[in-house]
Amino acid sequence: MATLASSTSYHSKRISAPENERPNAAKLNLKKIKSLAETTILKPRQSSSPNRENEIRSVNKDHVNRISFIFYKVLLAIFFCVYACVRYYQYTWNRTKIKLFNLAYNPSNTPQLIRRDVIKLNKIPKRLATIIDYRLEEDVGGGINGLVNNATDIIAWTVSSGIKHLILYDYDGRLKSNVALLRDETWQKLCNYFGPKNPPKFAFRIPHSNKLYFNRTDNNDNNNKDDSRKVSIEVTLLSNEDGRETIVDLTKTMADLCSNKHLSLDDITMDLVDSELKLLVGHEPDLLIYFGPSLDLQGYPPWHIRLTELYWEPDNDEVTYSVFIRGLKKYSSCKINVGK
């Protein structure tokens, strides 16, 4: 019995120990619950705040980008409207000025009036070049007839001004292919200016095909070499094939001669290239007039305009005498400085 009592007391003592530890376990459970609550409730809120800030920043950036886009778009529209107004004013002023000049300079097919305008100038070019645009047949003054008519007007003005060398350039070479029509129309135009009894004699030269034509087509003195000295004006017809293509062909020819040892590299100089291009195309003009709204050389031979004065009338699209005489006046007042 004693042993049983002792054993029961012993067991009672061992069982009572967990009863005494239950309050501590409850405290631990409260701590765990509190930590779990903090991790599940408080920390997600802290981690979501940067995402929220990023979303707010992205929304603000979108608003700023949209506002800046609208601002620059409105600013561009304002600049465009201002430019359109200024350009319209320039165009109206230029067109009005051209009309006034056309009224002031009206030769009326009279060489004496042209000569009176030119005699006031300090100097005139020895060689004059012009670029003529080809218009569609549906346009006023278009087609090949309009192109030839513009060319004959320039020839008549040049003869009346006392200039003996004229270069007519059209990109497609339509004047070359219609040289017979051009000769007849030039004869008729000069008869209208100077009278049918004694119109000035002229000659057309096509360097690319090495051909020379005198006066109109029914003239039988084409083979007379002395007529080249008697003409009042020599007209050279050029096109796009006389420009860079001629320079490329000349370069290939010189390269072939060097490869065949017919020409040495020391013989190729600037003077040789210049002399060959003069034979193939012609001399450099002193003045080039373009009858167009803005300067467009259209493939004109680049080697032949190194020291050439260029003139054009802004917003002009017609071949008129006022542009012609104003180009001569511009040339008479210019100063050309040639470097050593």
pTM, rounded to two decimals: 0.74
State residue 109's pLDDT score: 79
What is residue 16's three-state secondary structure? helix
- Mean pLDDT in residue range 255-261: 84
Distance CA 195, CA 288 (A): 29
The answer to whether the CB of 159 falls within 8 A of the CB of 232 is yes
Contacts of 125 (CB under 8 A, 6+ apart): 163, 285, 286, 287, 309, 328, 331
Q: pLDDT tens digit string along 216-254?
A: 766 544 444 554 458 899 999 999 988 888 888 888 888
Task: Identify which has the larger pLDDT, 285 or 34.
Answer: 285
State residue 247's pLDDT score: 86
State residue 336's pLDDT score: 73
Q: pLDDT tens digit string along 12-57?
A: 444 444 444 444 544 556 666 666 666 655 554 444 566 766 767 7
- Mean pLDDT in residue range 201-214: 90
From 128, 220, 130, select the one nearest 175 (Cα to Cα): 130
Q: pLDDT tens digit string along 171-183?
A: 999 999 999 999 9
CATH of domain 109-243+281-333: 3.40.1180.10
Task: Identify which has the larger pLDDT, 259 or 5.
Answer: 259
Name the token pair of 165.
Answer: 């060398």
State residue 316's pLDDT score: 92
Q: Where are the domains of the chain?
A: 58-104, 109-243+281-333
From 328, 333, 340, 338, select the one nearest 107 (Cα to Cα): 328
Read off φ and ψ for residue 265, nearest 5 degrees: -65, -30
In this structure, what DSSP letter does residue 166 have?
A: E
Distance CA 124, CA 118 (A): 8
